[in-house]
């Protein structure tokens, strides 16, 4: 296979020679941004907000994140399980591409989890048998076997390795084996894990992911299970465009950032009581025909006090360059708040404040340094919360009770 095309999120476009069918396939998959040039067969290629790897017609396109792999995995993990991912809990190869770094860490953690054998647990099984085992499902027996004593519709508990924890590990193994850019060394380790999990049922692709709860019994599995959740969070796809097949394994940085910001705000607001709502549902109009969903709203005494929208980078659709500001102004108007907050990733936008004319509303843009150490990043969010949290005046009229201290 030819050398991969390496793109880095946030960098300018690269001049690349591509056959037209390959360019069309990449464009159709929506994984990179392509621009025509004056030179036939040459294209300007740049990364969007998706990171990972795409393969088409022998070409691998590796899209690297702007931030380091360790910080990226921390952001993804914290959004799913803040208490586990509060620090660097999983060692990652910071020099590897994302798929290979995940594979390397997962093989290591899964091997450690399984070194003393597979975890077993009780699973409830519904089955049709010629002999009684467990108890008869009477309603099913009467409906399906009226007037017949055998076979029996039974339900019993079986002590087995085919439990959610092992199914999740197997699903992650299968995902990584399908992923381009996972090297031979890691594939060998993944194949060994698949053999160890041979008696486990693999969840179907795109099906419901097995759910699990951390406990004393599965404690040795928890690091591997947490990483398996992240592996399965990636978008794995394969699609045909013309005569070519495009396959890939991608994460959306905008989604990762939004998920992290809303969860970390929820955790930071927790000591102040009230209620935090992610993707808060309300409406722009009195008739409730135009829904709006701010990313984060903090309520106290049942009323909205803080509204935040998380934007990895500013959205600037053609003809509407300040879309983020208009959106937040609408949120403040609907919720009756004098201040709204935007949070961007540092390096894409600047921290600034806008006082909206004749509206009595301020829109404050903050930035988060995603390259910071986890503890430092969490402290910076706590500092933002101290700025955002209003002093409530109980005598103020409803809908205008928030006041941000100067």
Give kind and range of the element (H or E) at residue 275.
strand 275-278
| pLDDT computed for residue 403 by the predictor | 36
Distance CA 200, CA 19 (A): 44
Query: Alpha-carbon distance 131 to 390, whole Å?
Result: 68
- 226 to 80, 83, 84, 179, 194: CA distances (angstroms): 9, 11, 8, 19, 18
Phi, psi of 58 (to 5 degrees): 85, -5
Handedness of CA 333, 334, 336, 340 (dihedral sign): negative
pTM of the model: 0.82
Decide if 364 contacts 349 (C-beta within 8 A).
no
Task: Report d(CA 203, CA 180) in Å as an integer.
Answer: 21
* H or E element in which residue 367 lies: strand 361-368
Residue numbers of the chain with a pLDDT score lower than 70? 1-2, 86-91, 147, 206-207, 315-321, 391-406
Look up residue 289 and give its two tokens: 């025909």
Which secondary-structure segment (H or E) carries 143?
helix 138-144
Whether residue 315 contacts residue 328, with contact meaning beta carbons closer than 8 Å, is answered with: no
The Cα–Cα gap between 4 and 318 comes to 32
Residues comprising the chain, all counted: 406
pLDDT at residue 400, as a whole number: 43
Here the tokens at position 355 are 């006082």
Q: Which of 212, 245, 246, 249 is nearest to 232 (CA)?
A: 249
Phi then psi for 150, rounded to 5 degrees? Answer: -140, 155
Provide the pLDDT for residue 174: 93
Cα 336 from Cα 5, distance rounded (Å) = 49
- pLDDT computed for residue 392 by the predictor: 43
Whether residue 209 contacts residue 203, with contact meaning beta carbons closer than 8 Å, is answered with yes
DSSP structure class, residue 120: -
Q: Domains (ranges, CATH) in the chain?
A: 1-66+236-250 (no CATH), 121-160 (no CATH), 273-388 (3.40.1350)
pLDDT for 204 equals: 74
Helix axes 184-196, 164-178, angle to 10 degrees: 150
Structure tokens at 163: 């439990």
Distance, CA of 128 to CA of 124 (rounded, Å): 14
Whole-angstrom distance, CA of residue 190 vs CA of residue 231: 13
Taking phi first (over 0 means left), then psi (-120 to 50 degrees means alpha), and beta for anything else, what does residue 58 get? Answer: left
Q: For residue 127, give the nearest of 112, 140, 142, 108 by alpha carbon.
A: 140
Give the pLDDT score at 257: 94
| pLDDT given at position 240 | 85
Angle ∠(75,81,82) on CA atoms, nearest 5: 70
Q: Say which DSSP state 89 is in.
A: -
């Amino acid at each position: 296979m030819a050398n991969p095309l390496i793109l880095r999120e946030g960098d300018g476009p690269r001049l690349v020679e591509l056959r037209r069918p390959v360019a069309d396939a990449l464009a159709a998959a929506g994984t990179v941004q392509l621009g025509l040039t004056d030179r036939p067969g040459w294209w300007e290629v740049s990364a969007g907000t998706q990171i990972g790897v795409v393969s088409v017609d022998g070409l691998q396109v590796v899209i690297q994140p702007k931030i380091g792999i360790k910080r990226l995995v921390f952001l993804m993990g914290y959004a799913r399980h803040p208490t586990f991912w509060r620090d660097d809990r999983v060692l990652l190869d910071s020099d590897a591409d994302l798929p290979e770094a995940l594979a390397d860490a997962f093989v290591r953690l899964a091997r450690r989890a399984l070194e003393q054998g597979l975890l077993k647990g009780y699973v409830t099984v519904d089955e049709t048998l010629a002999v009684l085992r467990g108890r008869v499902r009477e309603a099913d027996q009467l409906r399906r076997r009226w007037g017949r004593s055998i076979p029996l519709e039974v339900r019993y508990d079986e002590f087995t390795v085919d439990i959610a924890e092992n199914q999740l590990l197997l699903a992650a193994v299968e995902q990584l084996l399908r992923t381009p850019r996972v090297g031979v060394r890691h594939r060998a380790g993944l194949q060994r894990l698949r053999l160890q999990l041979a008696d486990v049922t693999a969840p179907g692709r795109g099906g419901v992911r097995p759910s699990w709860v951390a406990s004393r019994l599965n404690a040795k599995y928890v690091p591997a299970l947490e990483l398996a959740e992240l592996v399965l969070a990636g978008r794995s796809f394969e699609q045909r465009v013309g005569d070519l097949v495009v396959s890939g394994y991608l994460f959306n940085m905008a989604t990762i950032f939004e998920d992290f910001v809303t969860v970390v705000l929820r955790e930071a607001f927790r000591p102040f009581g009230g209620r935090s709502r992610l993707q808060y549902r309300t409406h722009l109009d009195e008739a409730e025909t135009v829904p709006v969903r701010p990313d984060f709203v903090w309520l106290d005494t049942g009323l909205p006090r803080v509204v935040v929208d998380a934007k990895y980078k500013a959205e600037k659709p053609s003809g509407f360059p300040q879309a983020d500001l208009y959106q937040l102004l609408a949120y403040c108007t609907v919720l009756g708040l004098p201040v709204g907050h935007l949070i961007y990733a540092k390096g894409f936008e600047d921290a600034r404040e806008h006082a909206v004319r004749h509206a009595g509303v301020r829109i404050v843009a903050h930035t988060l340094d995603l390259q910071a150490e986890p503890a430092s990043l969490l402290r910076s969010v706590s500092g933002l919360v101290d700025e955002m949290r209003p002093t409530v005046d109980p005598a103020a009229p409803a809908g205008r009770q928030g006041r941000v201290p100067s």
